[in-house]
Amino acid sequence: MAPIATQYDFIVIGGGSGGSGAARRASGWYGAKTLLVENGRSGGTCVNVGCVPKKITWNFASVSEMLKDGVHYGYDIPKDIKFNFAEFKRKRDADVKGLNGAYERNWSRENIDLVRGTATFTGQKEIEVEVGEGEKRIYTAPHILIATGGKPVLPKGIPGSEHGITSDGFFDIEDLPKRMAFIGAGYIAVELAGVMAAIGVETHLFIRGNTFLRNFDPMVQNTMTKRYEDAGVIIHKSHQGFKEVIQVQDGRPGQKVLRLIEQDGSELEVNELLWAIGRAPEIERLNLSSVGVELKQKGHVQVDEYQNTSVLGIYALGDVTGQAELTPVAIAAGRALSNRLFGVNHPRGGPHLANAKLDYTNIPTVVFAHPEVGTIGLTEPQAVEKFGKENVKTYHTRFTSMFYDFHPAEEKKMNPTEYKLICEGPEEKIVGMHILGLGSSEMMQGFGVAVKMGARKRDFDSCVAIHPTSGEELVTLK
């Protein structure tokens, strides 16, 4: 006998930040009967193997850097202070577990029904959830949201690639490797390589070009690549890929030995290898083709500006769509979607929400590298291509933060702060802002508001500088 379908107003598949945000807005604000389907740990990628543990680990590495800096301020800090990475990992895991619980308590408080299992579409308004071995349940709703996120991928065609790990496995490391290799030039490779180098791991970074963070402004690419080299990261440029990865010695993470054989035959032995070569949407079990949901060429779910898929009543957001794959983007998109679906005729909403959607332009973002990088808007090449070189003016400064005043000259050179504003037209509207250096992450949030509002260079100039700060340089650029 087929199971009886349980009806809801809204079904959200995926309990990460985007799906959770949509569910909480729909149920907690607007009273929609909401079901959340989650097949992993509550909070999704960001909480468990992304933003949160990454930032905690960045903080850990920053303490190591600060201890070295303290000597220049007169503190009697001995060299090579020991730390207990396993103890740090236990504390980080406990913090993440606490956040998992907080997500679940929020769902319960806002009357969201939670079911754990794997969802499959059995109709355009219906899903089947496998909640246990042989046990399946049917749920229906006029509105179903796909927010299953993405997963890191391993390269194809390289024998032994499975001996390496991805960013997911990075947070399982308890015994630090003496030597570690990172493959990739984006956020994940740069952030995690920076962490390991800062705490004393011999770090190798393999990139296909001559710089990393290739989607960022050339200023960021060039300065940060040199900064990492100066900090001791061994960067293997023009990397053509590996021919094979051989596990020479098995062991726990950090204790194994891998031999990396490059295409030219050269070899390098490391204790850990991390692939950071991209992510793929987590959609295999959803059976989207059976209900007509169209996919992009690279497998992401195709959506319009309102997060609608090709099927009426089915929506998608977050990493699964390949749109600005950042947690706050998914959260904002989820809330906007719920506002549009359930807020128009609700006292807490109103008719103005009929066209609610997320504006994907001018989204500020930060790379928690060493030092931090913040960016919003267009790179200089993008601005020139869009507006013409004659209509673009840039303002640029490079200096050493006051924090390093007591450091030796050679160390000052290794710790640059650099800012660039990209302006368009006679009004000098700021269409791009790129900053790197101490405090850039927090600074970017505030300046991001100004750029999002359409600030012009003269608006920055009219703001009285806060002295002495690095940020004052952005309102005094000549």
Separation of CA 403 from chain center: 28
Sequence-ordered list of residues with C-beta below 8 angstroms from that of 137, at least 6 positions apart, any chain: 3, 6, 115, 117, 128, 129, 131
Q: Show the 3-state SS of the chain.
A: CCCCCEECCEEEECCEHHHHHHHHHHHHHCCCCEEEEECCCCEHHHHHHCHHHHHHHHHHHHHHHHHHHHHHHCCCCCCCCCCCHHHHHHHHHHHHHHHHHHHHHHHHHCCCEEEECEEEEEECCEEEEEEECCEEEEEECCEEEECCCEEECCCCCCCCHHHCECHHHHCCCCCCCCEEEEECCCHHHHHHHHHHHHCCCEEEEECCCCCCCCCCCHHHHHHHHHHHHHCCCEEECCCCCEEEEEEEECCCCCCCEEEEEECCCCEEEECEEEECCCEEECCHHHCHHHHCCCECCCCCECCCCCCECCCCCEEECHHHHCCCCCHHHHHHHHHHHHHHHHCCCCCCCCHHHHHCCCCCCCCCEEECCCCCEEEEECCHHHHHHHHCHHHEEEEEEEEECHHHCCCCHHHHHCCEEEEEEEEECCCCEEEEEEEECCCHHHHHHHHHHHHHCCCEHHHHHCCCCCCCCCHHHHHCCC
Q: Is 163 a catalytic residue?
A: no
- Rounded to 5 degrees, what angle do the CA atoms 128, 133, 138 make? 15
Say which of 236, 239, 407, 467 is annotated catalytic.
Answer: 467
Do 425 and 391 meet the contact criterion of CB atoms below 8 Å apart? yes
Which amino acid type is present at position 434? Answer: H
Token representation of residue 369: 């590298």
Closest to 309 (Cα-Cα) out of 435, 136, 121, 458: 121
Active site residues: 467
